[in-house]
Amino acid sequence: MDAFLNIIKNTYLSKISVVVSCVIILVCLVSMSRFNVNCQKIRSDVLRLHVIANSDSEVDQSLKLKVRDRILSETGDLFLASTSYEEAVELTDKILPQIIDVAENEIRLNGFDYSVQAKLDYTHFDTRHYDGYTLPAGEYLALNVTIGEGKGQNWWCVMFPSICLSPSLDLDDKLSDDEIDLIKGYENYKIKFKLVEWYEKVASIF
């Protein structure tokens, strides 16, 4: 009799555990759903700059930063004047030849003859932090500037909204309140950022 009661008890506790687990998972999914929606909105409203060095040598990494500075110096005002994501993307596509010329000129001034490729392309990024802002992992449209063989570490920033040009930029007319809260609220969303990054890595495999 005792054995029978133990079986019933264990079965009952097992069912309770399953129900509790399902409730916890459901709560997490509901909580994540809005977060995921805002992450996707950010990915579709942000244009990134991605500069890839020829190699990881000290001189190539230094050159990468000089090319970055020159590009930002020559084109920064144009991006600061952009009023929408679409306008920034259209502008970037229009000035790609200019960006290549600027980058190659800086490379020549520093005594190198590396070629430069510049194109707009969707690129996967892990969760990244920049001057108090956090961008969730995922695919973003980016201006990819590749120096030489492009085998070195990269540098990135946000061209629109132009956070890398003006970290204190007023984002109210560029992003929604929910998007601003997300990218400025890393401490509040640490776990969710990690979950999104994990999900994006798994999803990229399939």
pLDDT digits (tens, 9 = 90+) for 156-201: 889 999 888 887 788 888 889 999 998 988 888 888 888 888 877 7
What pLDDT, on the 0 to 100 scale, is given for residue 25?
44
**DSSP track, 22-37:** HHHHHHHHHHHHHHHH
In the chain, what are the domain boundaries?
A: 40-205
**Given a cut of 80, is residue 4 above it in pLDDT?**
no
Q: What is the pLDDT of residues 10-56, one digit of tens each?
A: 554 455 554 444 444 444 444 457 888 889 999 999 999 999 999 99
Work out whether the CA dihedral 150, 153, 158, 162 comes out positive or negative: negative
Give the Å distances, CA to CA, from 109 to 12, 61, 67, 152, 202. 76, 16, 10, 20, 43
Question: How does pLDDT run across 63-99, given as a tens digit for each residue?
Answer: 999 999 999 999 988 888 899 999 999 999 999 999 9
Of 75, 70, 73, 74, nearest to 47 by C-alpha is: 75
> What is the pLDDT averaged over residues 131-157?
93
The string of pLDDT tens digits covering residues 132-141 is: 889 999 999 9
Q: Among positive and negative, which fits the CA dihedral 164, 52, 148, 205?
A: negative
Model pTM score: 0.79
pLDDT band per the 50, 70, 90 thresholds, residue 203? low
Determine which helix (DSSP H) or strand (DSSP E) holds 106, and give its type and residue range. helix 96-109
Report the pLDDT value the prediction gives residue 23, as an integer from 0 to 100.
Answer: 41
Residue 1: predicted pLDDT: 53
Characterize 112-124 residue by residue with b for buried, 16 or more Cβ atoms within 10 angstroms of its Cβ, and e for exposed. Answer: eebebebeeeebe
Distance of alpha carbon 150 from the chain centroid: 19
CA distance 43 to 157: 13
